[in-house]
């Protein structure tokens, strides 16, 4: 069996790991941050700019792309890589989180989830099998098993039943992939003049599938869920149902409860996280991959990330500020523009202002992961993490003057 992931270095003071994950569209050095491209686009940034920022992988949203533009459109272009002109790895989520957010518009049963989509209200249905089939059409390098993401707070009995169903769904996802990979093998061997078709088939053959650990904020449920999902032998493991409104200490505890039961030779993905200090704390707890909308979402509110915490560039104090967003930052915004100018753009509602902050924030997140990888290799990650977290101040990210 082909080995997709290897651990290259470990931190002695924590569970931090420096790894390498191989996918059909390239290698991902971990710890890694995954910019979120919900609808086939990381908001405000082109694939060329993402490559210039050294983004290794992006996330596409199964639910949103299924609803719009729809699978027929993406099939017409070959797959999501061709459609959006991104030649690097893509991870697609299963749609479970979006279905969680559609609480008033959906009905969950053992078969799957029936819902009204948010675009035109049309009825739709996603089962574990359909979720994997959609991700196969998208051509994702890493696909996620369908799970149920429970809300916070959540009753113990509901969380227990939900985690059991997530395990049953995970088994069905694995089974569908196995059966259809066997079918694809015979198809891929047929002679064809359509190179794109061959490449697409080979990519889906190499598609990695991650299982998702659930269990809400209950330690025993997280442990049981992790053990049951690991027994199904996925290519990697995600911890889901975190960062859904629970206190930070509960979020950390959920990860700590599951981590000891995850195999050390497979990648670990903490879904939907988080702030820069949270990511470093999760790396220290053995996590390898993260995705989060904060860098792009807060940029659209005029908020930039710096090593000292967030800075709201809408505030009047920056009107005459000739400094860059952050000193010694190598991003395009900091190399060329002042805080005062970017504040003017934001106040004047010029799109360039939001784009410049977005580029800076993505650079900040990606560079933080690069620094974490280097520190783990050098054996100094724990000191780096503690110093960064101590210096980082969380401010109200959406305050205006």
Select which of 11, 235, 288, 291 is catalytic: 291
Cβ proximity of 150 and 136 under 8 Å: no
Instruction: State whether the Cα torsion 369-245-166-161 is positive or negative.
Output: positive
Q: Is 291 a catalytic residue?
A: yes
Secondary structure of residue 2 in the 3-state scheme:
coil
Please name the residues in contact with 1: beta carbons below 8 A apart, sequence gap of 6 or more.
none
User: Distance between terminal CA atoms of the chain?
Assistant: 58
Select which of 11, 79, 93, 147 is catalytic: 93
Helical (H) or strand (E) element with 256? helix 248-258
Tokens of residue 101, six digits: 């957010």
Cα-Cα-Cα-Cα torsion 341, 347, 348, 349, nearest 10 degrees, comes to 110
CA angle 329, 333, 336 (to 5 degrees): 95
Report d(CA 78, CA 80) in Å as an integer: 7
Q: Is 233 a catalytic residue?
A: no
Other Cβ atoms less than 10 A from the Cβ of 180: the count is 17
Secondary structure of residue 11 in the 3-state scheme:
coil
List the beta strands (DSSP E) in 11-152. Answer: 17-23, 26-30, 32-37, 58-61, 90-93, 106-108, 113-116, 123-126, 142-144
Helical (H) or strand (E) element with 121? none
Tokens 């000191």 locate to: 383
CA distance readout (Å), 97 to 59, 258, 259 = 13, 19, 21
Q: What is the DSSP string of 263-295?
A: -TTS-EEETT---HHHHHHHHHTT--EEEESHH
Catalytic center residues? 93, 291
């Amino acid at each position: 069996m082909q080995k997709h992931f290897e651990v290259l270095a470990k931190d002695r003071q924590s569970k931090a790991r420096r790894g390498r994950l191989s996918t059909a569209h390239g290698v991902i050095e971990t710890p890694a941050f995954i910019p979120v491209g919900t609808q086939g686009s990381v908001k405000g940034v082109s694939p060329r700019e993402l490559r210039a920022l050294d983004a290794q992988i992006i996330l596409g949203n199964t639910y949103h792309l299924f609803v719009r533009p729809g699978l027929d459109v993406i099939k017409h272009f070959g797959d999501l890589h061709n459609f959006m002109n991104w030649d690097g790895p893509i991870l697609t989520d299963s749609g479970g989180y979006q279905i969680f957010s559609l609480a008033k518009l959906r009905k969950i049963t053992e078969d799957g989830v029936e819902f009204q989509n948010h675009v035109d209200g049309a009825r739709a249905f996603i089962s574990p099998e359909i979720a994997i089939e959609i991700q196969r059409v998208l051509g994702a390098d890493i696909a996620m098993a369908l799970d149920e993401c429970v809300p916070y707070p959540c009753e113990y009995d509901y969380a227990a039943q939900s985690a059991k169903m997530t395990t049953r769904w995970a088994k069905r996802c694995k089974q569908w992939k196995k059966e259809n990979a066997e079918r694809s093998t015979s198809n891929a061997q047929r002679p064809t003049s359509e190179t794109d078709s061959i490449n697409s088939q080979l990519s889906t053959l190499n598609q990695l599938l991650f299982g998702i650990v659930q269990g809400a904020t209950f330690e025993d449920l997280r442990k049981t869920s992790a053990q049951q999902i690991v027994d199904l032998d996925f290519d990697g493991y995600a911890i889901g149902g975190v960062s859904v409104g629970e206190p930070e200490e509960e979020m950390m505890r959920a990860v700590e409860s599951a981590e000891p039961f995850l195999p050390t030779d497979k990648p670990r993905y903490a879904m939907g996280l988080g702030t820069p200090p949270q990511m470093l704390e999760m790396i220290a707890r053995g996590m390898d991959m993260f995705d989060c909308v904060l860098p792009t979402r807060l940029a659209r509110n005029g908020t930039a990330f710096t090593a000292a915490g967030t800075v709201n560039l809408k505030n009047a104090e920056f009107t005459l500020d000739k400094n860059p967003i952050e000193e010694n930052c190598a991003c395009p915004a900091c190399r060329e523009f002042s805080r005062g100018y970017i504040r003017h753009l934001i106040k004047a509602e010029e799109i360039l202002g939001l784009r410049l902050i977005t580029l800076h924030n993505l650079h900040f997140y990606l560079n933080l992961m690069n620094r974490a990888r280097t520190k783990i290799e050098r054996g100094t990650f724990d000191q780096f993490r503690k110093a960064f977290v101590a210096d980082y101040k969380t401010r109200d990210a959406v305050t205006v003057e």
